[in-house]
Amino acid sequence: MATPRRKKTSRVGPQQTNRYFHVLVSPLRLVNRTDPAAQENHSSNTRPGNAGGRRSTDQEAFELYDRWLALSPRERQITYLTCEGYKNVQIAFQMGVSVGTVKSYLQHVFLKMGVPNKTELRLKFHGFDFKRNPP
Q: What residue spans define the domains of the chain?
A: 56-127
Query: For 83-122, what is each residue's pLDDT tens digit?
Result: 999 999 999 999 999 999 999 999 999 999 999 999 999 9
DSSP 3-state of 85: coil
Q: Any idea which fold 56-127 has?
A: Arc Repressor Mutant, subunit A (1.10.10)
pTM for the model stands at: 0.57
* Structural Rg of the chain based on CA atoms: 23
